[in-house]
Amino acid sequence: MESSSNLFEVRDDILQLVLNELNYSSINSFHEDVRKIREWMMKQPHLPEVMADKKIENFLILNKGSVERCKEKIENYYSVRTYLTEIFENINPKLPYMDYTLKAMYLVPLPKLTKNMYRVFYHKIRDAPLTANFDYNYAVRLVVNIQELRLTEDVAYGDVFIIDGQNTPPSLVFKVKLTTLYNALVVIYKKVFSNRMKALYLINAPSSVEWILTVIKSVIKPKLFERIHVCENWNTVFEQIGEEILPRDCGGKEKSLEELQDTLRQEFNKHQEYFNQLDALRVNEELRPQRLKNSNMFGFSGNFKKLDID
């Protein structure tokens, strides 16, 4: 599972370390599970393609080596593109609004993994005036496109998020809709990609942070909420993550956010054909052998269930 990415630094030993965490006896047994899933996909007439092995590998890792859970999430991966049109229509990174989003905010994965094999994401407003007419669904779509790059280029056991509130207009946080949070956290993060959030650090938090936390608490379970840390300074973040991973903007040793954002743009351009293909991926319900589990999850009912991400 080698990577040619300029965005993600993936050490040669990462895959083996992850498989050890998942209790695989050998890499051959892991590849055997990948083969089982590939053969299963070949027998699903409603699916639009047989997924590349590298993506299957990442889905299997994200689902802790469970073949059955992996099948379910692959089903959701294609179905969500058909039914959650609020996010997946006009999601291609080549579209003008996506460039607008990258000009308005930094939302970048940091190249180096933590010692526990977690990928760190850094979010910060880049140009406050551009957020005046901002729709947070834009940011959700950007995260989905980054996740697509990860499926093809990255290997990681989970995620750490840093949200830097510097430059954030006070009015911006009140534009976050419950439907957007639900789609981002429940449907996409949990039901499709199975990502594991190790921690979320809020630094330079705006005065509205209590309101933000109240909204977040309404859609996630207490176990996950305990992983959110409001930091008065960078000390905790540096202690937990390490200065070699963090960008120069906050005193770290990694490239600047501007450089990392430029690299992200380059990766989107490099994979433009891939994203064009994703636009056409839809399930054929007439050919589906059996009803999709949790088929109602692609709509917003107004009643949240608590989200549990382990």
* Amino acid 83: pLDDT: 86
Q: Confirm if 71 and 37 have CB atoms less than 8 A apart.
A: yes
Higher pLDDT, 156 or 269: 269
In 3D space, the residue among 305, 286, 303, 290 whose CA is nearest the CA of residue 82 turns out to be 286
* Amino acid 293: pLDDT: 62
Per-residue pLDDT tens over the stretch 187-241 = 787 788 888 889 999 999 877 777 778 877 776 778 888 888 999 889 999 999 9
* Amino acid 72: pLDDT: 93
HEC string of the chain equals CCCCCCCCCCCCCHHHHHHHHCCCCCHHHHHHHHHHHHHHHHCCCCCCCCCCHHHHHHHHHHCCCCHHHHHHHHHHHHHHHHHCHHHHCCCCCCCHHHHHHHHHEEEEECCCCCCCCEEEEEEEECCHHHHHHCCHHHHHHHHHHHHHHHHHHCCCCEEEEEEECCCCCCCHHHHCCHHHHHHHHHHHHHHHCCCCEEEEEEECCCCCHHHHHHHHHCCECHHHHCCEEEECCCHHHHHHHCCCCCEHHHCCCECCHHHHHHHHHHHHHHCHHHHHHHHCCCCCHHHCCCCCCCHHHHCCCCCCCCECCC
Q: Confirm if 246 and 254 have CB atoms less than 8 A apart.
A: yes
Model confidence at 1, in pLDDT bands (50, 70, 90)?
A: very low
- Pairwise CA distance, residues 176 & 183, whole Å: 12
Higher pLDDT, 86 or 74: 74
Token pair 């899933």: residue: 37
CATH architecture, domain 7-290: 3-Layer(aba) Sandwich (3.40)
Residue 245, pLDDT > 80, answer yes
> Around Cβ 94, how many Cβ atoms within 10 Å?
12
- Pairwise CA distance, residues 231 & 271, whole Å: 36
Residue 309, pLDDT > 50, answer no
- Pairwise CA distance, residues 71 & 268, whole Å: 27
Q: What is the mean pLDDT of residues 33-51?
A: 97
Residue 143, pLDDT > 70, answer yes
- Calculate what percentage of the chain has a pLDDT beyond 90: 59
Higher pLDDT, 24 or 187: 24
For Cα atoms 277, 283, 285, give the angle at the middle one, nearest 5 degrees: 160
* Amino acid 37: pLDDT: 98
258's tokens: 């501007």
Model confidence at 4, in pLDDT bands (50, 70, 90)?
A: low
* Amino acid 297: pLDDT: 53
46's tokens: 């409603």
User: Is 71 exposed, middle or buried (CB count within 10 Å of its CB: 0-12, 13-18, 19+)?
Assistant: middle
Per-residue pLDDT tens over the stretch 260-295 = 999 999 999 999 999 999 999 999 988 888 776 655
* Amino acid 122: pLDDT: 96
- Calculate what percentage of the chain has a pLDDT beyond 70: 91
Residue 69, pLDDT > 90, answer yes
* Amino acid 152: pLDDT: 92
- Pairwise CA distance, residues 52 & 277, whole Å: 13
Residue 306, pLDDT > 60, answer no
Residue 301, pLDDT > 80, answer no
* Amino acid 267: pLDDT: 96
* Amino acid 53: pLDDT: 96
287's tokens: 């050919």
